[in-house]
Amino acid sequence: MFDKVLIANRGVAAVRIARTLHRLGVAHVIVYSQADAQLPYVRDARESYCIGPGPARESYLDQDALLRVLAEAGCDAVHPGYGFLAENAGFARRVQAAGAAFVGPAPELVDLMGDKLNARRAMAAAGVPVLTASGPVAGDDDDLQAEAQAVGYPLLVKASAGGGGIGMRRVDAPEALAAAVNRTRALAARTFGDDTVYLERRLDAARHVEFQIIGARDGMVRALFERDCSVQRRHQKVIEESPAPRAARDRLHAMGERLAAALASMRYTSLGTVEMLMDSDGAFHFLETNTRLQVEHGVTEAITGIDLVEAQLRIAAGARLDEVLPQELGSSGHALELRVYAEDPDRFLPSTGTLECFRVPHGEGVRVDSALQTGAAVTPFYDPMLALVIVHGADRDDAIARALAALDDFEVRGVKTNIEFLRRVLQSPAFREARHHVNLATQPGALA
């Protein structure tokens, strides 16, 4: 195991990684921006460094500042968490060049999977089913329309270097195509530094099912079951669960094995999540591969009992997969994760302010990951997540009941939250009967 780990992240991600490092007895270093200086985990840290002002580009995305801390603190590994630089191959290479380990896959795989078009080609070559899509689209209207006709309407305009649903636009008719492509291209250039966009066939009423994959340097890759992440707003996940309800276990198992084999052919190491769409016939279609710890990893931890952060660290330190995982993989019960955000619950717009009261739920089968407390400021600089609530029950109905009870015990004052929205989803017939899909939150009357 490593001697000292730099946590190159903030908030919930930093607290989660620090918890495992503390349990393992591994020293760790916290970095923070001026906007985060008063957060509890920063104040309580044994070793912490300020890396810049509030804006992420001047702090958590400042590679030079992070590498200076790496050297000054004498760390031998960097855990990037999720978001920020977690999937930045250039940063991973700079960490390795500085003589430290980057807790994640090889930079070449981060590069490959970070480009959605290249990732599609690689997965298709490995036998994974993909949706109909175009190559990179140009600005010529005739060519654009021809590409769209080949893909078929409705379709999505997507940024090749994108993530988190940023800039993704639905197009239902030819007359709306050019404007959508231009807007997505401009946003992709500003956000990702790459304006490459492509067109992909859109599946209506599909479910978003992702598979947790883990591999080690010994060449072994295994699937750790799946998560259903179909409840979304603005193409971003809000509720995740495992096992996926109303889905054939044999097909899920077969797809997990197929994806593990595909990544094994690429000599994949560390955690990875392969995101798929499942259509109404139960067929799977590849979306993307995330080469990092997922926000929703706690759902898999709850049903398997495996600490995925520890697994990441041990693999990065050179452990074989059979030294990290139990010989027999099994799952128990049902788990749900609810993302509690500071946001307007109707328009899904961020809400900022000071937390006049912040009380999180407790109880059997309830885990809350949060970096906040009463008096903390919710700033406009970062994702407005307040907490992750992970519940584990004997079955799905039990998990939903525990989730609703946890929401009832939440008390937040000072900012608006999406708690009532989460409650409406959990109580909706569509979710209760596992008839939900990626458009549930925007479907008129679905949450009535």
Last residue in a domain, options 201, 224, 241: 201
- Does 286 lie in the same domain as 218? yes
Is the per-residue pLDDT at 277 higher than 90? yes
Q: Is residue 47 part of a domain?
A: yes
Is the per-residue pLDDT at 186 higher than 70? yes
What residues are annotated to the active site? 292
Note the pLDDT tens digit of each residue in 378-417.
999 999 999 999 999 999 999 999 999 999 999 999 999 9
Task: Give the total number of structural domains in the chain.
Answer: 3
- Does 33 lie in the same domain as 88? yes
Q: What is the CATH number of the domain that holds 394?
A: 3.30.470.20
- Does 269 lie in the same domain as 286? yes
Among the residue ranges 23-32, 44-53, 344-353, 416-425, the one predicted with the least confidence is 344-353
Q: Please give the residue range of the domain that contains residue 91.
A: 4-103
Is the per-residue pLDDT at 444 higher than 80? no
Is the per-residue pLDDT at 441 higher than 90? no
- Given this model, what pLDDT does residue 138 score? 80
- Given this model, what pLDDT does residue 446 score? 65
- Does 383 lie in the same domain as 361? yes
Is the per-residue pLDDT at 106 higher than 80? yes
- Does 219 lie in the same domain as 154? no
Please compute the mean of the pLDDT values over residues 39-52 and round it to a whole number: 97
Q: Is residue 28 part of a domain?
A: yes
Please compute the mean of the pLDDT values over residues 75-86 and round it to a whole number: 97
- Given this model, what pLDDT does residue 445 score? 64
Note the pLDDT tens digit of each residue in 164-183.
778 789 999 999 999 999 99
CA pair distance 80, 66, nearest whole angstrom: 11
Q: Is residue 216 part of a domain?
A: yes
- Given this model, what pLDDT does residue 143 score? 87
Q: Residues of the chain with pLDDT > 90: what percent?
A: 88
Q: Is residue 125 part of a domain?
A: no
- Does 171 lie in the same domain as 149? yes
For residue 317, what pLDDT band results from cuts at 50, 70 and 90?
very high
Is the per-residue pLDDT at 13 higher than 80? yes
- Given this model, what pLDDT does residue 162 score? 79
- Given this model, what pLDDT does residue 373 score? 97
The three state secondary structure string of the chain is CCCEEEECCCHHHHHHHHHHHHHHCCEEEEEECHHHCCCHHHHCCCCEEECCCCCHHHCCCCHHHHHHHHHHHCCCEEECCCCCCCCCHHHHHHHHHCCCEECCCCHHHHHHHHCHHHHHHHHHHCCCCECCECCCCCCCHHHHHHHHHHHCCCEEEEECCCCCCCCCEEECCHHHHHHHHHHHHHHHHHHHCCCCEEEEECCCCCEEEEEEEEECCCCCEEEEEEEEEEEEECCEEEEEEECCCCCCHHHHHHHHHHHHHHHHCCCCCEEEEEEEEECCCCCEEEEEEECCCCCCHHHHHHHHCCCHHHHHHHHHCCCCHHHHCCCCCCCCCEEEEEEEECECCCCCCECCEECCEEECCCCCCEEEECCCCCCCEECCCCCCEEEEEEEEECCHHHHHHHHHHHHHHCEEECCCCCHHHHHHHHHCHHHHCCCCCCCHHHCCCCCC
Note the pLDDT tens digit of each residue in 126-168.
999 999 999 999 877 888 999 999 999 999 999 998 777 787 8
- Does 139 lie in the same domain as 76? no
Please compute the mean of the pLDDT values over residues 19-24 and round it to a whole number: 98
- Given this model, what pLDDT does residue 448 score? 61
Q: Is residue 111 part of a domain?
A: no
Q: Is residue 447 part of a domain?
A: no
Q: What value does the mean pLDDT of the chain take? A: 94
Note the pLDDT tens digit of each residue in 327-351.
889 999 999 999 999 998 878 889 9
Is the per-residue pLDDT at 443 higher than 70? no
